Amino acid sequence: MPTVRLASETDFQGWREAARALRSSQVAPEATLWTVDGAGGDLFGEAAPSPAAGAPAFTVPREFVELADRVILHRSDERFALLYRLLWRLGREPDLLRIHSDPDVQKAQGFAKAVGLAAHKMKAFVRFRLATDPEGGESYVAWFEPAHRVTEMTAPFFARRFATMNFSILTPDVCVHWDTQRLAVLPGADPADAPSEDSLEDYWRTYYASIFNPARLKVGAMQKEMPKRYWRNLPEARLIPELIARAEGRTDAMVSQAPSTPSRRVMRAAQRASRDASYDGEAVTTLEEVHAGVQMCRRCDLYRDATQGVSGEGPARARIMFVGEQPGDQEDLAGRPFVGPAGQMFDKALAAAGVPRDQAFVTNAVKHFKHELRGKRRIHKTPTTGEVTACRWWLEAERRIVRPRVIVALGGTAALSVFGKALAVSKLRQQALQLPDQAQGVVTYHPSYLLRLPDHEARARAYAQFVEDLKFAWSLAG
Ligand code: URA
């Protein structure tokens, strides 16, 4: 029986050439054996024919080539023969690929779909760890076990995404290495070749725990999106059983944190302030009134879609005030500023700068969560200048009550609210800017900006600057 020996499990070029030769020589699919070099097979089989001289040329639909390009990455041993059978049949049934009920077509399309899904999961679940070589050079290494042979196919995605980072993705099939210029593909590796633990793991775990929302927990859906086969190599997966177990208690805690009812005097003051845009606000003299007023606020429409208003938090006589943009998904549920992923990043930077969070007043320019729904997810939307201006009233009340020595605007929206005009944050960092209420103003990045930077070096640089800015502001606060 003619035996085709391909150079590797994903040798599409080799398969194409062999299939072309076999079909030109009229070798039927059932009379052919496909194997990969080193994978055994029929030792006594004849070699497959070379393309028959003078055989009639044939063309195949582009759709088939695209399908075959995917199917060949499937782990099934059947894939080469299945593709050749389809190619053979296409000669007599040119519309074959449109017959979705045909068992061969169905199987090939199922393989292609599984390969697409495996590539998607690889993009989502590769986790890099920092590795240092003896000369002190740094690179990022990930160990990953893809469901199908999709490593080479997804490598260009990682090269684009982490263009300035040296990285290697090691898999049992092949390893890809990116040196910021070129992608190299080498033979497969062993899990022991990848570094096992480093501080990035803690970072991932902290991040995952902070974005985990117990009130939205759907165990089935979560396991469908993050199948168990990938858990082994995901640092955050270790947390999943515990987070699921704690979810009920955390949901109860969120509900019980709902604001308590303030006194009638407070309610009256807050009510006026929250509806009347021309109200001068002098009657709002305590943080309790601000809190109650924010819950009732109708100065713009953002209250409609938010769970609750989120006012500032911290000592009423704090020396330093930090102003963010607006509450995020988690802050909206918890009713407290900076408790989600940006809050975790903020806390880490505050600790690195030696600023005790419990001595700072932490608030936002806008007190309601502005978002849009994408499926079941609530995606942050930047507030407009009109919304920032309407809500500025509450920030001014907080400033008047707390009277901090230093006000730090975290990002552009906060700067707009604190200074009343748009400022170029990166140009004005590390400067003490005078504010009319005797306070000094400082501008720096928003922690979410750091989380969004895709490239590791840029993130590390911006994080270091952010810590410097926090130190600078804390030194101004005396
Ligand atoms: N981003 C902000 O600006 N504030 C928060 O409270 C949370 C995220």
Say which DSSP state 71 is in.
H
Helix (H, G, I), strand (E, B) or coil at 339: coil
Ligand 1 closest atom vs CA 330: 7
Q: How many residues does the chain have?
A: 478
User: 406: CA distance to ligand 1 center in Å?
Assistant: 19
Residue 302's pLDDT band (cuts 50, 70, 90): very high
341 lines ligand 1 (CB under 6 A): no
340 lines ligand 1 (CB under 6 A): yes
Q: Per-residue pLDDT for 9 more than 60? A: yes
413 lines ligand 1 (CB under 6 A): no
Residue 132's pLDDT band (cuts 50, 70, 90): confident
Query: What is the average pLDDT across 44-61?
Result: 67
Q: pLDDT at position 123, please?
A: 87
Q: Kindly report which listed range (29-33, 38-42, 276-280) carries the lowest average pLDDT score.
A: 38-42
- Continuous segment of H or E residues that includes residue 2: strand 2-6
Q: Which residue has the higher pLDDT, 133 or 140?
A: 140
Range of 279-288, 345-354, 365-374 with top mean pLDDT: 345-354
Quote the Cα angle for 388-390-394, to 5°: 90
383 lines ligand 1 (CB under 6 A): no
- Domain spanning 276-476, CATH class: alpha beta
Please state the domain extents for the chain. 2-120, 126-193, 200-254, 276-476
> Within 13 A of 146's CA, how many CA atoms are on the CB side?
32
342 lines ligand 1 (CB under 6 A): yes
312 lines ligand 1 (CB under 6 A): no
User: 363: CA distance to ligand 1 center in Å?
Assistant: 8
Query: What is the average pLDDT across 12-19?
Result: 94
Separation between Cα atoms, residue 267 and residue 426, nearest integer Å: 41
Backbone angles phi, psi at 287, to 5 degrees: -65, -30
User: 211: CA distance to ligand 1 center in Å?
Assistant: 13
146 lines ligand 1 (CB under 6 A): no
Query: Looking at 346-403, which runs of residues are DSSP E strands?
Result: 360-364, 371-374, 377-380
Pocket probe mutation, ligand 1, options 213, 332, 338, max atoms within 8 Å of Cβ: 338
Q: pLDDT at position 409, please?
A: 98
325 lines ligand 1 (CB under 6 A): yes
Q: pLDDT at position 304, please?
A: 83
Q: Per-residue pLDDT for 355 more than 80? A: yes
48 alpha-carbon distance from chain centroid: 48
289 lines ligand 1 (CB under 6 A): no
CA distances 222 to 219, 227, 246, 428, 456, Å, are 5, 8, 16, 43, 28
User: What pLDDT digit, counting tens, does each position of 434-477 carry?
Assistant: 998 889 999 999 999 999 998 999 999 999 999 999 999 999 99
Q: pLDDT at position 253, please?
A: 52
Q: pLDDT at position 348, please?
A: 96
User: 283: CA distance to ligand 1 center in Å?
Assistant: 27
Query: What is the average pLDDT across 335-340?
Result: 93
Q: In what order do the strands lie in the sheet with 440-444?
A: 360-364, 320-324, 406-410, 440-444, 433-434
Ligand 1 closest atom vs CA 325: 3
Q: pLDDT at position 258, please?
A: 44
Q: pLDDT at position 260, please?
A: 47
Helix (H, G, I), strand (E, B) or coil at 187: strand
Quote the Cα angle for 56-58-63, to 5°: 175
Query: What is the average pLDDT across 424-437?
Result: 94
Separation between Cα atoms, residue 224 and residue 216, nearest integer Å: 15
Q: Per-residue pLDDT for 318 more than 90? A: yes
User: What pLDDT digit, counting tens, does each position of 253-263 carry?
Assistant: 544 444 445 56
Ligand 1 closest atom vs CA 338: 6
Q: Per-residue pLDDT for 389 more than 70? A: yes
Q: Per-residue pLDDT for 199 more than 50? A: yes
Pocket probe mutation, ligand 1, options 308, 326, 452, max atoms within 8 Å of Cβ: 326
Ligand 1 closest atom vs CA 414: 3
User: 126: CA distance to ligand 1 center in Å?
Assistant: 28
Query: What is the average pLDDT across 141-167?
Result: 89
Whole-number percent of the chain with pLDDT over 70: 78
Q: pLDDT at position 336, please?
A: 93
